[in-house]
Structure 1
Amino acid sequence: MKQLIDFIPLIIFFVLYKTHDIYVATMALIVAIPFQIAFMWWKYRKVEKMHLITFAMVAVFGGLTIYLQDEDFIKWKVTIVYALFAVVLLGSQLMGKPVVKAMLGKEITLPEFVWRNLNLAWTGFFSICAVLNVYIAFHLPTDVWVNFKVFGLLIATFVFTILSGVYMFKYMPKEEEPKTPESE
């Protein structure tokens, strides 16, 4: 349920872009995210930092998009968010405290090198997404960029998450089988 709520502003943006234009869709996105945050607070009594960062970025870049009637600003938001993720992950790596381990380490036990590799892999993933967004946003039509933002990045993140899970599974401690009288 929680993950579905994360996609509602994106769905609203996509539908209104397809039925109206980038400016109406951006305005709807700016309005939808505070409702999303309020709902999350009401339902779970917690607001994730990611939602607040997203709202701040959308408010600033979306506001500039609407005020200046220049769609480039909302396109930059995606790049900046992904670049910010990459910088935070890389910074945590350099400080010896991978963010990926901080997020998942309470539930999953893995060797330190695996946490470092995952952290670096996600740093690379977010860096590539940021660069791809710049290319697609500023070298291809806005229609292509919206489809990339909504579907391309979502599918890429899903696939990379699965690949990360497969990699982690390989290094998870194996549970010992219970001893039976026949195995002794």
Structure 2
Amino acid sequence: MKMLFDFFPVLLFFIVYKTVDIYAATAVLIAASAVQTFGHRMVKGSFEKSHVITLVLVALFGTLTLALHDEVFIKWKPTAINWLFAVVFIGSQFIGKKPVIERMMGANITLPSNVWTKLNIAWALFFIVLGALNLYVAFSFDTDTWVNFKLFGLMGLTFAFIIAQSFYLLPYLKETEKTD
């Protein structure tokens, strides 16, 4: 359910792009990101950091897209977000006692510290690759192809990565079950 909520603004962007144009879709993306961020705050009582970061970048790149009437800015937004997340994941290897992935998932599963480190690095590399792929598609293909990739390609790659991560973690999760 959370993942669907997280993709809500992108889905609305896609629908409005297909029915109107990139500029209307960008305006809807800004509004939907704001609703998502503040809606989470109203329901859960706190802001989710990833929503706030996304909202700031959507507002920045979206406003530039609308003000300058140039779609190149909104095409950079997924790369900026993914690369910023990569920097956070890499930085967490050196700042604090735990990598960010352990801070996010550690309450739900127990893993050896070297596995948390490998998982954290894998996510950082994944975000770097997603950012690079976004730029490749955005500037090698037409806008329609990029919008399709933004929704289906990035989401599909994320699901595939999560499934691969699950297979990687499976032996450790079985170990935890045996010791409980």
Q: TM-score range by the shorter chain?
A: over 0.9
Q: How much does 1:174 deviate?
A: 3.8
Give the letter aligned to residue 121 of structure 1: A
**Normalising by the residue count of structure 2, what TM-score does the alignment of the two structures yield?**
0.92
Offset of residue 38 of structure 1 = 2.6
Are positions 1:164 and 2:156 aligned together?
no
Query: What TM-score, normalized to structure 1?
Result: 0.90
> Which residue identity does 1:79 align to in structure 2?
T
CA contact (8 A) 2:130 2:154 kept: yes
Alignment size in residue pairs: 178
Q: Which residue of 2 aligns with 1:15?
A: 15
Judged with a 3 Å threshold, the aligned counterparts in structure 2 of structure 1 residues 28 and 114 are, in CA distance, closer, same or farther, namely same
Check whether the contact 2:110–2:176 (CA below 8 A) recurs between aligned residues.
Answer: no
Query: How far apart in 2 are the matches of 1:80 and 1:65?
Result: 15
Distance in 1 (alpha carbons) for counterparts of 2:37 and 2:100: 23
- Aligned equivalents of 1:2 and 1:65: distance in 2? 28
Higher Cα Rg, which structure? 1
Range that drifts further, 113-122 or 165-174: 165-174
SS state at 1:175 partner:
helix
Equivalent residues of 2:102, 2:116 under 8 A apart:
yes
Unmatched tracts of structure 1, length 5 or more: 179-184
Structure 2 segments unaligned to the other structure (5+ residues): none
Match of 1:54 in 2: 54
Decide whether aligned partners of structure 1 residues 174 and 2 sit closer, same or farther in structure 2, where only a CA change above 3 A counts.
closer
Map of 1:1-184 to 2, 5 A cutoff?
1-95=1-95, 97-172=98-173, 173-176=175-178
- The letter for the 2-side match of 1:117 is K
CA-atom RMSD in angstroms? 1.7
Deviations 1:104-131 (A, max 9, x none): 1122111111111101111111111111
